[in-house]
Structure 1
């Protein structure tokens, strides 16, 4: 419909692509992957920050009936192993490195035979990862790597027969076929692979865009969020494509100044972000250097948003049509979103109304529906509910399902006008600047240290990220481990955002316990706040809090 309209702009890489160019690039990659032997239903991993190749991989995998696996670009070798093994990734696409993360070196660490293979040869065999057959590296400098195909070569090897196969695949792919696996905390244990279908993603992306008004006016959407999150690849790139709009990616990872420049230079009409991202933008010393009068809307999500921040966005960032979104990866992801018919001061009081064609209910501990105005766990059902956790047996659904309803684990209150406010969580998940962190992951990692006897992870208030990771640790009697020792032990082994900011050393009798000898994490949190002198710390920069919201 708009072949010559720009669909993506990657500012740092200097890449601008039209819809016509994007579909051509996606078909070339899809046929290249088919030529390598990937088949419908195979898992294709993308381990990368925001680059054009991420977008191409996203849509190429959908065209070929492959299942895209979003691998967090902050993952270290241990996390990567888990991601590959959990869902049986067959091919992995990545850049050689990003900032301090040497992706290729980590691949060599987990696949030692990689360095014995010739350059530009990505067909691998490893007993540790029996499903993994291909490593594909994209490098702007055009370098070759042992044991890895060049991405540029893969995009050129598709034959006529491969294109014919792709054409046939496009006709047999079904709406309920899995399309995307995203790792999420779930409700218990290690991260699970939330498996989303084409039906889940296409419809959620479409209705988010429609509620944002993308079907009514030309939109240039600035997306500083990571593509490996649903915020970036469903609410962002997929939603824009559904409505033939343009995405602007300021930098490979979030940089507040790069985002402000991108808005100014590209005259963006909408800006996405978590509260932490917007706080960093508004407080950047060069904020007043740029012009933002092109902005009319924006979406804030990923963590609770303080009203004072919303006021700043409406008044100083021109977001008259600011909208709040709420949901979870398991819901593809948006279940609730503000409607533009309500004034801004009303929109920011809640996470909005249930999305079109979805249902929401709040229940008590017995699973019974609570009246309007009373607290209850938020349940959602409808088209957006994931296919399931990859490899998770249907008989094991009881921890995240209540009948046909998905249990979010969040505690909310529904108001008379149908809007929802989130007032707490019934699960232990920590939300740090939009990153979901499940304590069990960190606990299981730290307990492997020979001098640590017991460890518990909780979230405590943080003025920038909303929450920070705090560890309660009981050491061996003869141990001399320090806080710095533990942080060094974590460094380069787990993602940086999982490393505890605070570490409290405790004796066995200092852990608050229930009558059944389970730790009371809510009491631990209260104690930690007092000991760390965080009583006055509010989620998301106390300096933005004001007594009166003036729109």
Structure 2
């Protein structure tokens, strides 16, 4: 084990150094498949050759739209090794939603699965106008049709690229170049890109290791979060690779699958949302599984019942359970509980800020508030984004005059320095760990024939933390019903965005300035 962060110009260099140190060590367990660090490095170099052969230039953007799999990781490593910028896209998104991201980032190469569920990824993208998109590389199959090619054919096409050219490309990776842009929607309903540099990504991984993960020799990390999410990507497989541990790809979140993985692969670190742990602990055959390898059970992303934390501590050990708070704009974690914290601290706070972050609470005038007083959470640190991608207006609104990122969340510090999230200045709510923005859903609902106006709020849900409730004003003579609206949403939106309840109203409540009053809608709900 060694500190990978500062001696290297990029995450790829740090990973390659680790692979050179332990080529025979197991990097990935994927079902019955075992892949060593040396194998991953060889595959990444071959895929980088494929990109170079296809004309991918330093600074170009390439997206990955696929479920968690080893090819996702190899493609991401190759994009960054070629000097490019990774754009992750969630498989929960529909083609039209993904197209907005591809267009904004002028993505030239898209790596994707053929589809997900009933959604045809390739056909859906080909139907849309994306002039910058040069090539679609499909994981699996043997496609070769115009802009579409299979992963195997794509990699094979790069075999003729000389090793000297490949090594020169890797050596030229710029620490200040963009490692990735993760797009997160916002209260405007327009996706905003969060650019993180190679240097920032390394710093974020180092802090994740120092304050959150604390990987040690022999650790096995099971990733339950999507690779398209910061928790599954930077704090997931990337951090695991930089510290030389084994990654287990959890391809399902059902309790049987996870318990089998923990027992079979001797999983020692399991980050997951609270509902996953509820499912595990409530499994009728839980006692039959050997979970003794689990030393770290990390959770967060939503409200956590104290009783669940107590059950987790009783089962996995008091020191094993932790919880935290993070932001895409901060390249991952912002605060996290520490070993030895009580169930009350873990359930009701997000712990103490990471060591290299300056986290403050301010009032409406921008003045710091004392412990015990609510204030907006603002943060500053080397891994915090420098601004939204090509969006000066959003960037200006996101930072204070003295350079602190405004999170839009309201929190309280206790006397011990633990941060509790008490409210949101933004309308965002969290569905099963996914940030969900009403404005984006409202814009989609407005496309339904017969909808005059729509407003969405988050309401409490015992399983997912919160879910969406839509209030719709129908047009005159429109024929709308709840089932029809929800069916339309399921076809057009990622599942977590779909409102679970639809209420039809004659008018939406408004404040004196004419804006829809979400406060009054919450009272109505």
Alignment TM-score, normalising by the size of structure 1: 0.87
Q: Say if 1:209 and 1:240, in contact at 8 Å, map to a contact too.
A: no
Match of 2:513 among 500, 511, 516: 516
What is the Cα deviation at residue 144 of structure 1? 5.5
Kept after mapping to 2: 8 A contact 1:297/1:319: no
Aligned-residue offset at 1:99: 3.0
Q: Describe the superposition over 1:28-65 as per-residue Cα deviations: whole angstroms up to 9, x where unpaired.
A: 11111111000111111100011111111121122111
Matched position secondary structure for 2:298:
strand
- SS of the aligned residue for 1:254 comes to coil
Map 1:379-390 to 2 at 5 A: 379-390=378-389
Query: Which residue number corresponds to residue 10 of structure 1?
Result: 30
SS in 2 for 1:507: coil
Deviations 1:298-318 (Å, cap 9, x if unpaired)? 221222322222122222244
- Bigger drift between 183-192 and 158-167 goes to 158-167
Per the alignment, do residues 214 and 502 of structure 1 end up closer, same or farther by CA in structure 2, a change over 3 Å counting? same
Please state how far the C-alpha of 1:164 moved relative to its aligned partner. Answer: 2.3
Give the Å deviation of 1:328: 0.6
Of 340-349 and 477-486, more deviation after overlay is shown by 340-349
Whole-angstrom CA distance in 1 between matches of 2:388 and 2:365: 25
CA shift for structure 1 position 347: 4.0
1:451 aligns with 2:471: no
Identify which of 397, 400, 403 aligns with 2:398.
400
**CA displacement at 1:490 relative to structure 2:** 2.0
Q: Which residue in the other structure is 1:506 paired with?
A: 505
Query: Displacement of 1:214 after TM fit?
Result: 3.4
Maintained 8 Å contact 2:361/2:377: yes
Show CA shifts across 1:90-121 (max 9, x none): 000011123333323323433xxxxxxxxxxx
Distance 1:88 1:319, change over 3 A: farther
For the residue of structure 2 that corresponds to 1:513, the secondary structure is coil
Deviation larger for 159-168 or 414-423? 159-168
Preserved contact between residue 297 and residue 316 of structure 2 (Cα < 8 Å): no
Question: Residue 134 of structure 2 corresponds to which residue in structure 1?
Answer: 133
User: Shift of the alpha carbon at 1:405?
Assistant: 0.5
**Residues 330, 386 of structure 1: 8 Å contact kept:** yes
Partner of 2:211: 211
CA distance in 2, matches of 1:187, 1:387: 20
Contact (CA 8 Å) 1:440, 1:457: kept in 2 or not? yes
Counterpart CA distance in 1 for 2:377 and 2:431 is 21
Moved more, 345-354 or 217-226: 345-354
Distance (Å, rounded) in 1 between the aligned partners of 2:126 and 2:280: 37
Alignment of 1:307 with 2:306, yes or no, is yes
Worse overlay, 94-103 or 473-482: 94-103
Comparing 213-222 and 322-331, the one that deviates more: 213-222
Shift, 1:88, TM fit: 0.8
Tell me what 2:113 maps to: 95
Contact 1:201/1:234 (8 A) holds in 2? yes
- 1:372-419 per-residue CA deviation (whole Å, 9 max, x = no partner) reads 1100010010111114222212x5423211131111111100122111
Residue pair 1:439, 1:458 contacting (<8 A) in 2 also? yes
Please give the root-mean-square deviation of Cα atoms over the aligned residues, in Å. 1.9
8 Å contact 1:433–1:465 — kept in the other structure?
Answer: yes
Q: Does 1:429 align with 2:428?
A: yes
The answer as to whether partners of 1:454 and 1:475 remain within 8 angstroms in 2 is yes
Alignment check: 8 A CA contact 1:226 1:254 kept: no
Distance 1:290 1:215, change over 3 A: closer
Query: Residue 19 in 1 paired to residue 18 in 2?
Result: no
Match of 2:279 in 1: 280
Indicate the residue corresponding to 1:65 in structure 2: 83
Residues 472 and 503, structure 1, Cα contact 8 Å, conserved in 2: yes
- Partner of residue 371, structure 2: 372
CA displacement at 1:342 relative to structure 2: 4.1
Q: Which residue of 2 aligns with 1:28?
A: 46
1:332-371 equivalence runs, <5 A: 332-340=331-339, 342=341, 346-371=345-370
How many Å apart are 1:489 and its aligned residue? 2.2
C-alpha displacement of 1:358: 1.1
Give the whole-Å Cα distance in 2 for the aligned partners of 1:170 and 1:42: 14
TM-score, with length taken from structure 2:
0.92
Return the alpha-carbon distance in structure 1 between the equivalents of residues 197 and 133 of structure 2.
Answer: 22
Shift of 1:194: 1.1
Structure 2 SS opposite 1:231: coil
Give structure 2 stretches of 5+ with no counterpart.
1-20
C-alpha deviations, 1:482-536, integer Å up to 9, x for none?
111212222322212211110000012xx332122222102211211xxxxxxxx
Residue 39 (1) aligns with residue 57 (2): yes
Asked if structure 2 preserves the Cα contact closer than 8 Å seen for 1:363 and 1:376, the reply is: yes
Matches within 5 A, 1:85-484: 85-110=103-128, 128-139=129-140, 141-142=141-142, 147-159=147-159, 161-212=161-212, 214-251=214-251, 253-318=252-317, 320-340=319-339, 342=341, 346-393=345-392, 396-403=394-401, 404-484=403-483
Asked whether the equivalents of residues 6 and 246 of structure 1 are also in contact (C-alpha less than 8 Å), the reply is yes
Any idea what SS the aligned residue of 1:136 has? strand
CA distance in 1, matches of 2:274, 2:118: 25
Counterpart CA distance in 2 for 1:34 and 1:27 is 11
Give the whole-Å Cα distance in 1 for the aligned partners of 2:342 and 2:25.
Answer: 32
Deviation digits for residues 150-189 of structure 1 (CA, Å, limit 9, x no counterpart): 1112222224545323322222322221111111124533
8 A contact 1:219–1:246 mirrored in 2:
yes
Q: Residues 146, 308 of structure 1: CA spacing in aligned structure 2 closer, same or farther, 3 A cutoff?
A: farther
